[in-house]
């Protein structure tokens, strides 16, 4: 395997990962009939019939600089 073929294979990783997530999503809907997912800043439970039930509103994401270290502080 040469460098060019390795780069071509690596370029397909995002596509393959997206397909795997999509298959897992539909498999979960088929198996259990429900999937929990984040949609527009909300955590919702989506049913196989397409209905959605709000579980909770999610916090605004925190911007993190690549390479920085973050420490979770527990509330007292």
> How many folded domains does the chain comprise?
1
Whether 28 is covered by a domain: the verdict is yes
Q: Per-residue pLDDT tens for 26-58?
A: 999 999 999 999 999 999 999 999 999 999 999
At 70 the pLDDT is 84
Residue 73 banded pLDDT, cuts 50, 70, 90: confident
Residue 26, pLDDT score: 95
Q: What is the pLDDT of residues 4-17, one digit of tens each?
A: 999 999 999 999 99
pLDDT of residue 62: 84
- Distance between CA 55 and CA 45 in Å, rounded? 7
Q: Convert 20-51 to b/e letters by CB count within 10 Å (16 or more is b).
A: eeeeeeeebbeeeeebeeeeeeeebebeeeee
Q: Would you say residue 44 lies in a domain?
A: yes
pLDDT value of residue 75: 78
The verdict on residue 76 lying in a domain is: no
């Amino acid at each position: 395997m040469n460098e060019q073929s390795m780069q071509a294979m690596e370029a397909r990783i995002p596509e393959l990962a997206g397909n795997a997530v999509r298959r897992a999503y539909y498999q979960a809907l088929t198996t259990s009939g429900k999937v929990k997912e984040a949609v527009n800043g909300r955590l919702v439970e989506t049913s196989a019939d397409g209905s959605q039930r709000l579980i909770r509103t999610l916090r605004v994401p925190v911007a993190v600089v690549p390479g920085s270290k973050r420490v979770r502080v527990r509330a007292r």
